[in-house]
Structure 1
Amino acid sequence: MNASVAIQVLPKVLEQEETRRIVDEVISYLASTGLHYAVGPFETTLEGELDQLLDLVKECCRICVRAGSPSVMSYVKISYKPDGVWTIADKTGRYQTL
């Protein structure tokens, strides 16, 4: 694993429930990839290889449009280090509560 990506998609739709429906489709897609991920209140973080993660970012935008959004804004953070990046657990594990 040489990268982690945090992505927030904002479909350009008017109704809050429509936004939720489209974002849920994106999260379902991310879950289907088999990659380790964590959903947060503003963004979803994934771990994997850089090229694979960048392809996922593109697909997330396409999913929003296929789901009915005329356009989408995506905010993406990328951490890349060829010999390995910190995992989600490394970054936030000690703060998790049960």
Structure 2
Amino acid sequence: MKIDVNAIPSAMAIQCLPMGLATKAETYAVVDSVIQMIQASGLSYEVGPFETVIEGPLPQLLELAGQVHAHMLEQGVSTAASYIKLWSGTNMGTTEEKVGKYRK
């Protein structure tokens, strides 16, 4: 059975780790530039202390993951690691449904 992956709700949690930088400030600058790319994507997202959760069509999420990973390398890091969790399904719920009640 052929399914339209654009029609199924999906979410991606991504943790981007630029390695080999001398200072915490340099590391944060690269991570901040990754978050700016996520913001510019137009997809719904929530930044957390260890990962960012992005919601949208699966093909767009996968494309964005590749773009932000490559971006870290383009920033001159010696090694880049991206840890990704993907969820897709018609009944998975949104970030707001899952954590909205816990926000201050």
Gaps of 5+ in 2: 1-7
| Structure 2 residue 49 is matched with structure 1 residue 22 | no
Please provide the CA RMSD for this pair: 1.2
| TM norm structure 1 | 0.92
TM-aligned CA deviation for residue 70 of structure 1: 1.9
Count of aligned positions:
96
Gaps of 5+ in 1: none
Larger-gyration structure (1/2):
2
Secondary structure of the residue aligned to 1:10 is strand
| Identity over aligned pairs, percent | 36
Contact 1:3–1:84 (Cα < 8 Å) also in 2: no
CA distance in 1, matches of 2:15, 2:22: 17
Contact 1:35–1:47 (Cα < 8 Å) also in 2: yes
Query: What amino acid sits opposite 1:29 in the alignment?
Result: M
1:42-57 mapped onto 2 (5 Å cutoff): 42-57=50-65
Query: What amino acid sits opposite 2:10 in the alignment?
Result: A
| TM norm structure 2 | 0.87
